[in-house]
Structure 1
Amino acid sequence: MPSPAPLSQSDLHAFVADGVLIRRGLVPDRLLQPAAHLVDAWMREHYDHARLTAYTNQTFAPDLAGHPDLLGLYNDSGLHQLVTQLLDPAPTVPLTTAQIQIRLPDGAEQPVKAMHVDGVSCPHLHPEDLNTFTLIAGVVLSGSATGEAGALHYLPGGHERMARYFAEEWTRGQAAQTPDDIARQEGTALTARPGDVIVMHHLVPHRVGLNASPVPRVMAYFRIRHADHSRLAEAALTDPWLEYPGLAALAADTRPRS
């Protein structure tokens, strides 16, 4: 199993500031190709257009969530070690499932995802429910590397604004997922190729739009939870570094003084 280079202080500072870390070409073809072929076969043999909204809101290929070829993208590529470095010394819940997200070529009538934070005020959850996590790791399986090809769009640094929103403006059960100043942002497009990886703090707001390219954009996502996340979940909405003990002091040192 390859081990990624240790994260530098510059990497850690960038993650604290942006809430995002990108690694190009981290997942090798020997892991990427079996996973991509698995999802492609599912699309050809099992995809049900009537369930497109459910797939988009939750996951495509739900029956493959625990398949070894998908979990290997995280466990065997060095991505697991990268995440461990960010969360060190916090333990995490063992990973057992992958989420597949596909942005189909334009014309598929696929719902557009507005700027949001996962697991809070989601249309497919009860308003009072939280289904949050500590960070998300995404692997590009296939698709065009352009911003208009169904790419993830994220808001660097938005985790700090969202923490203030959850502390000062949000009440559990409300429909709005983000404040107005976040909702109207376009975000930065993840212009990435197959094998590229993004690791993103849970509180970083993000969205995904239409795919104007002729090919599907396929991502595999892995939701990583602190081992005590069930207890810390609501508090972590207002304290972005509660579940990152190794980065908490760095974040405090770099946060602007009032």
Structure 2
Amino acid sequence: MPLTPEEKAAFKRDGVLIRRGLAAPGQVQHAVSLIDGWYRKELVADDIPAYSRRTFVPELGESPELLALYTESGAAKLAASLLGDTGPVTTAQIQIRVPEDAFPGVQPAKAMHVDGVSCPHLDPQELRTFSLLVGVVLSDIDDPKAGALHYLPGGHLAMARWFADEWSLGMTEQVPPEIDHELGTPLLGTPGDVLLMHHLVPHSVAHNLMPFPRVMAYFRVSHPDHAHHRLEALRNPWLDYPPLTEVPCAPTPQE
């Protein structure tokens, strides 16, 4: 089902859109089976910090079963309706928040940040930005304490202003102080739910205090021109989103 005008307006306001049950059960089951087998047989505690910075199950990142979560679920069509056109997506990132009880102190929390900008493990002069993050829920996340992703609705607009007015390439701060202290909204859901989130939406991840792993598959989607204007796209949140240029923001929900 294509995006409605109301969904596009809400995305422009919040920078986030969630489609429940978009990925089919069969697609989810194939992916979960592969990841679960690796988790049980291959995961080594000493490798968890490095996996957390990049991806778990790195050898499966290009597998058809994982890529199908994006290409065959309808997520790719939704991404194209937001960006107008998309570059190829050839790899999946698997992020697992391991249970803190099983792996105490091994997996640090992630503070509010924007992907690919001023990451502690990257050169501050290096940008690894993109346009849109697509996330597919692969485990039940019914409690924020299960290592849920926390995102800041509307934060993409605040970040664009910060990048335009205060930030410069080489700074190590990932977000301004007022955003760094935000708790954000937890992404709760069931396997097959799909998140579409503007690259500029700041987000964080806490420890997983539940007894089971929290599993997400992520896909980084870029407008074909993104690599040629990375800096400008940090300051203009709609540069990579031509279909949304004339779309008005939805009204702010009443408390």
TM class, shorter-chain normalised? over 0.9
Alignment of 1:15-34 (within 5 A): 15-34=11-30
Equivalent residue for 1:75, pick from 71, 85, 103: 71
Pair 1:59-2:55 in alignment: yes
Output one character per residue of 1:147-181: Cα deviation in whole Å (capped at 9) or x when no partner.
11111100000000000110111111111100000
**1:157 matches 2:151:** no
The aligned residue for residue 228 of structure 2 is: 231
1:37-79, CA deviations, whole angstroms, 9 ceiling, x for partnerless residues?
1111111222121111111111111111101100000111111
Does residue 207 of structure 2 align to residue 210 of structure 1? yes
The residue number in structure 2 matching 1:131 is: 128
Kept in 2, the 8 Å contact 1:143–1:149? The answer is: no
Q: Give secondary structure in 2 for the equivalent of 1:241.
A: coil
Between the aligned partners of 1:60 and 1:252, the Cα distance in structure 2 is 36
Alignment partner of 1:167: what SS? helix
Partner of 2:245, secondary structure, is helix
Partner of 2:91: 97
Deviations 1:99-145 (A, max 9, x none): 00001112322110000000000011111000000000000111332
Contiguous gaps of at least 5 residues in structure 2: none
Residue 113 of structure 2 contacts residue 174 of structure 2 at CA under 8 Å; is this kept in 1?
A: yes
- Secondary structure (helix, strand or coil) at the match of 1:142 reads coil
Aligned equivalents of 1:40, 1:188: Cα separation in 2 = 27
Q: Which amino acid aligns with 1:51?
A: D
When the two chains are superposed, the root-mean-square deviation of aligned CA atoms in Å is 1.5
* Conserved 8 A contact 1:144-1:215: no
Once the two structures are overlaid, the 10-residue window that deviates more, 116-125 or 38-47, is: 38-47
Q: Is contact 1:140–1:196 with CA below 8 Å preserved after alignment? A: yes
Distance 2:212 2:46 in 1: 20
The alignment of Structure 1 onto Structure 2 pairs a total of residues equal to: 249
Which range moves more in the overlay, 15-24 or 141-150? 141-150
Provide the rounded CA distance (Å) in 1 between the counterparts of 2:5 and 2:72: 25
The residue aligned with 2:180 is: 183
> What letter matches 1:186 in structure 2?
L
Counterpart Cα distance in 2 of 1:237 and 1:214: 38
> Is the counterpart of residue 12 in structure 1 residue 8 in structure 2?
yes
Q: CA deviation at 1:252?
A: 8.2
Query: Secondary structure of 2:138's match?
Result: strand
What residue identity is the alignment partner of 1:226? Answer: H
Q: Which 5+ residue runs of structure 1 have no aligned equivalent?
A: none
Distance 2:249 2:206 in 1: 34
Whole-angstrom distance in 2 between the partners of 1:6 and 1:218? 26
8 Å CA contact 1:26, 1:77 repeated in 2: yes
Moved more, 38-47 or 175-184: 38-47
Q: Calculate the TM-score normalised by the size of structure 2.
A: 0.94
- Matched residue type, 2:48: L
